[in-house]
């Protein structure tokens, strides 16, 4: 099935969403310090996005008809969710497209 045609407005809105997501990642990366857990970082990102007008970031576009992740992937996979692991000083993370290290 061919991809649907996208209008100039569709592409502009997509570009705006990408830029907003990138600004969020950049901002939160600048706040990461030793001791911050993955869950805490995810919560910071959620708050930042909501403060910048994002109301929902998942929808029907992320659903595949007939696909049940629990059944098709062999169960619930926590690897795809933020965990309790905490950042440690010197631990690498991505920021501005480059590998960085967490600083105290």
Average pLDDT over residues 70-92: 71
pLDDT value for 2: 77
Q: What is the DSSP letter of 94?
A: E
Distance CA 89, CA 100 (A): 11
pLDDT value for 75: 62
pLDDT value for 3: 74
């Amino acid at each position: 099935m061919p991809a649907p045609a996208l209008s100039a407005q569709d592409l502009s809105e997509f570009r705006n969403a990408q830029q907003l997501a990138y600004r969020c990642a950049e901002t939160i990366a600048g706040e990461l310090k030793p001791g911050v857990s993955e869950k805490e970082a995810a919560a910071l990102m959620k708050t930042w996005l909501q403060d910048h007008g994002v109301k929902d970031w998942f929808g029907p576009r992320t659903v595949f008809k007939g696909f049940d992740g629990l059944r098709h992937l062999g169960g619930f996979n926590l690897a795809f969710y933020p965990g309790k692991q905490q950042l440690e000083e010197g631990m690498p993370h991505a920021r501005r497209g480059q590998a960085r290290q967490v600083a105290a």
